[in-house]
């Protein structure tokens, strides 16, 4: 059963560029841990939508314990003013630390 994690994040205005650069630097390594990874920035640059998918729950669990996902979680915590975490289409939290 495919597992889907969606993170919708809104960086703090003065941290948008820093968050974008962090995400760009992490993207290739994050992809290694996912069956599918899609990162979209809204046209106005105000929000980012990160969608990661895995074939199994075990693959997802292992990926979420990886250093890359810990770094992503830290960047979201430090650089954003709002984040929404959804798992398989259901809202889990407004806090990226819950992705673990």
pLDDT at 19: 95
The C-alpha R_g of the chain, in whole angstroms, comes to 12
**pLDDT tens track for 39-51:** 999 988 799 999 9
**pLDDT tens track for 8-33:** 999 999 999 999 999 999 999 999 99
Domain annotation for the chain: domains and CATH numbers: 3-99 (3.30.70.100)
pTM: 0.89
- The arrangement of strands across the sheet holding 80-87 comes to 36-41, 48-54, 3-11, 80-87, 90-93
Pairwise CA distance, residues 52 & 42, whole Å = 17
Pairwise CA distance, residues 72 & 83, whole Å = 12
| Strand intervals (E) in the chain | 3-11, 36-41, 48-54, 80-87, 90-93
């Amino acid at each position: 059963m495919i597992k889907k994690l969606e993170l919708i994040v809104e960086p703090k205005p003065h941290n948008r560029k820093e968050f974008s650069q962090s995400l760009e630097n992490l993207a290739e390594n994050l992809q290694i841990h996912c069956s599918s990874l899609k990162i979209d920035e809204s046209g106005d640059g105000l929000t980012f939508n990160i969608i990661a998918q895995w074939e199994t729950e075990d693959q997802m669990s292992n990926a979420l314990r990886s250093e890359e996902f810990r770094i992503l979680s830290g960047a979201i915590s430090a650089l954003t003013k709002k984040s929404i975490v959804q798992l398989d289409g259901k809202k889990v939290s407004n806090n990226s630390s819950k992705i673990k």
